[in-house]
Structure 1
Amino acid sequence: MKGKIVRWVDERGFGFINTEELNGDIFVHVSKFKKGDRRPQVGDEVEFQLDRKSTNLSVDKALLIGVKPQKNPVPSIVISAFLVGILGAGLYLFVIMPKLSRPHESMNFSCQSKVYCNQMRSCDEAKFYLANCPGVKIDGDHDGIPCERQLCRSW
């Protein structure tokens, strides 16, 4: 059937359709319209099917005639937010966190022929030497922690 919206209460999401084929107004809820259509307005032409299960005149399915479907921006916003989140997590995991766990790399140390713990001035310098300078003798138990007795004590 075809008809026209004669009343619409947008805040409540319902209205009434009038058609020449039936006497009286036909109740229609916004949920009966095709997803992607804009909200109905008074004067819109509609194509609809009656709800045969209802005792009152009401619509089962409705379609706005001559109204282009609206693009829904939500999926692109969700995808964008997801991608920004992934990018942020990757940046944190692969750039920021490694620097936080290796502060000695950002302290401008350089290999200067130091070999023993008593030549190091800090735990960070010892960590730098262990990670970057060949031939150092600062990790006697080979556990990856240099100068445990002098500089890099864990209490």
Structure 2
Amino acid sequence: MHKGQLVTWKDDRGFGFIKPDDGRKEVFLHISALKGAGRRPKVGDTIFYDLVTEADGKVRASKASIHGVEPRPLPTKQKVKKHGLLETVIGIGVIAAIALFTMEFSPSRSPSPITFITKPNCTIKGNISIDTGNKVYHLPGMEDYESTLIDIEKGEKWFCTESEAIANGWRKAPR
């Protein structure tokens, strides 16, 4: 490893120059060469480093450390990512869709918000019997109405009127 003193440092740009102790020409130092340093460098620091020659013949410091500073992750200036209006709208839409989907398929005993969005005030439950496969509809107040769950993926439906249910091939539940 080589040793030298940092004689120039442009913190806003993340680079500077080291004056080697052996009297050679100044060596370029980039902040990325100081991985693991406990702080950002400042003019006057003693720097230990390896030399690397680039393809274009320029020499720079690599695997550098600041003398007397405990190694740990280098503090960085964090940039705040600004989201545009489109990203915000998409994000809100995704969250709303997840919330509605969750409510639709949760074990609820009343019509879900999705049902009321797609068919406002439609409270007749069109259920398919697990045992017989018969299509029956339940009116509010009937014995099994509260315990009847509608699974749209299985072909079960919500109806606004009894005549709509009957016209679609459903019959009134016995209780």
Q: What is the TM-score of this pair, normalised by structure 1?
A: 0.51
Matched to 1:40, the amino acid is P
Work out the CA distance in 1 between the residues paired with 2:6 and 2:38.
15
* Match of residue 49 from structure 1: 50
Distance in 2 (CA, whole Å) between partners of 1:97 and 1:130 is 19
User: Any conservation in 1 of the 2:115–2:158 contact (CA below 8 Å)?
Assistant: no
Shift of 1:16: 0.6
The alignment yields a C-alpha RMSD, in angstroms, of 4.3
Aligned CA distance change for structure 1 residues 150 and 37 (closer, same or farther; 3 Å): farther
Corresponding position of 1:117: none
How many aligned residue pairs are there? 119
Identity of aligned residues (%): 24
Deviations 1:10-62 (A, max 9, x none): 23321111232233321112222215653322122221001145634421321
Unmatched tracts of structure 2, length 5 or more: 79-91, 107-111, 127-136, 146-154, 169-175
Where do residues 125-140 of structure 1 align in structure 2 (5 Å cutoff)?
Answer: 125-127=123-125, 130=138, 133-134=142-143
Task: Give yes or no for contact 2:123–2:158 (8 Å, CA) kept in 1.
Answer: no
Q: Which amino acid in 2 is paired with 1:63?
A: S
Structure 1 pair 103/23, CA: closer, same or farther in 2 (3 Å)? same
8 Å contact 1:123–1:146 — kept in the other structure? no
User: Mapping of 1:1-155 within 5 angstroms?
Assistant: 1-34=2-35, 37-53=38-54, 55-68=57-70, 69=72, 70=74, 91-95=99-103, 99-103=112-116, 124-127=122-125, 130=138, 133-134=142-143, 144-145=156-157, 150-151=163-164
Q: Secondary structure at the match of 1:22?
A: coil
SS in 2 for 1:41: coil
Q: Which consecutive aligned stretches of 4+ in structure 1 deviate over 6 angstroms post-superposition? A: 71-74
Change (3 A) 1:66 1:103: farther
Which one has the bigger strand percentage? 2
